[in-house]
Amino acid sequence: MIEIKNLTKKYGDHVAVDNLTFTVKKGQIYGFLGPNGAGKSTTMNIITGYIGATSGQVKINGYDIFEEPEQAKKCIGYLPEQPPLYMDMTPYEYLKFVAELKKIPKGQRRDMIEEIMDRTKIYEVKDRLIKNLSKGYRQRVGVAQALLGYPEIIILDEPTVGLDPKQIIDIRDLIREIGEKHTVILSSHILSEVSAICDHVVIISNGKLIASDSPANLTKELQGSTSVSLTVLGQKKAIQQVLSSRSQIRQYTISESKEEPGAYDAELTCIGSADLREELFTAFAKIKCPILKMQTSGMSLEDVFLELTDEGAAEKGNTEETNTKETAIKETDTKETNTEEKEEE
Ligand code: ADP
Ligand code: MG
């Protein structure tokens, strides 16, 4: 349905979208998950034909968005991060206006608008000015304009941002309903939101694709993850070489040890629940770099998500990061909900 190949978008020297490749299949709800600035909106703006790309390819139902934008755009309904609402119109006037823009045949407009207002539950506010509506209702009007013309694909950029908890539940229900008839892509920076609504999650960070899988598989894969902190005496390069050559290590940071002169502290995230201590002991012994300290602990899904999307964690290795990671090892069953509540304030 949507094929994205090696998509890159640069703003000057800044790479906002970095060589993204993935496919969206028909009939599923896709979640774009990533922290602020990850490149979610930029990617969505490219897919929907709002902005161009620096390089790469996007095909919507076989139509190239850059070469055949008219046909490609016809397949998509889009709710951008800033909904393009006209505050001095009523929802009904606004939807009539959008229906014209989308060139929906005159004879079909009325029934379609009625049906969509009904589906998005904005019927009771259809004659009030949009500027007087709550954020929740405005967001519904935004979703309604995306649905006009019944495009096969509906793209929603952070549809729950700024809503109160009740409105969030309502919008999520609406998205699930839409997902029964349309292919949906939504973006969010909240892990629990994406895993609650989506069939498939694409995690991006710094414009790069980090993971793409079902929430169940991601949870299975990530939840059992272990982390290892160790202090090793030796050359940084040699230590990095040992760590980089271990396929079981998903990511690591390395920094000069504060406590042990000449040594380095490393924080590793392992794939699954592998226990690498023995292997690390042997590997470092072989290159005569003594391990001064080593400790292992479990990680929650939220911890791993934060770690995966941590800016350039594998390269930077500054001490600040090491500190945050030490505090990340906690009991975390309730953490997801907590984070979400914070987001909703
Ligand atoms: P997200 O939606 O995931 O929060 P964005 O796609 O909005 O992320 O932004 C990705 C990166 O691109 C950010 O670092 C942002 O500052 C940068 N960016 C986005 N739009 C522009 C622009 N028009 N000019 C320059 N930089 C931009
Ligand atoms: Mg955004």
- pLDDT band for 217, please (50, 70, 90 cuts): confident
> Ligand 1: which of 8, 14, 158 to mutate, judged by most atoms within 8 Å of the beta carbon?
14
Residues touching ligand 1 (Cβ under 6 Å) are: 11, 14, 16, 34, 36-42
pTM over 0.75: no
Residue range 225-249: mean pLDDT, rounded: 91
Ligand with smallest separation from the Cα of 40: 1
What amino acid occupies position 12? Answer: G
Ligand with smallest separation from the Cα of 206: 1
CA 235 to each of CA 137, 230, 251, 284, 312: distance values in angstroms, whole numbers, following the listed order: 59, 14, 19, 11, 22
Q: Mean pLDDT check: name the lowest of 14-28, 122-136, 293-307.
A: 293-307
Distance in Å, CA 39 to ligand 2 centroid: 7
- What pLDDT is attached to residue 303? 65
Compare 283 and 222 and report the one with higher pLDDT: 283
Taking CA atoms only, the protein residue closest to ligand 1 atom 23 is: 11
Compare 300 and 333 and report the one with higher pLDDT: 300
pLDDT digits (tens, 9 = 90+) for 19-64: 999 999 999 999 999 888 999 999 999 999 999 999 999 999 999 9
Taking CA atoms only, the protein residue closest to ligand 1 atom 7 is: 41
- What pLDDT is attached to residue 192? 82
Q: Mean pLDDT check: name the lowest of 126-130, 226-230, 232-236.
A: 226-230
pLDDT digits (tens, 9 = 90+) for 151-173: 999 999 999 998 999 999 999 99
- pLDDT band for 196, please (50, 70, 90 cuts): confident
Taking CA atoms only, the protein residue closest to ligand 1 atom 13 is: 37
Taking CA atoms only, the protein residue closest to ligand 1 atom 14 is: 37
Are 42 and 17 contacting, i.e. CB atoms less than 8 angstroms apart? yes
Residue range 194-209: mean pLDDT, rounded: 90
Burial of residue 330 (number of CB atoms within 10 Å: 0-12, 13-18, 19+):
exposed
CA 311 to each of CA 15, 34, 204, 302, 331: distance values in angstroms, whole numbers, following the listed order: 13, 11, 11, 16, 24
- What pLDDT is attached to residue 300? 59
Please state, for a pLDDT cut of 70, what percent of the chain lies above it: 84
- pLDDT band for 247, please (50, 70, 90 cuts): confident
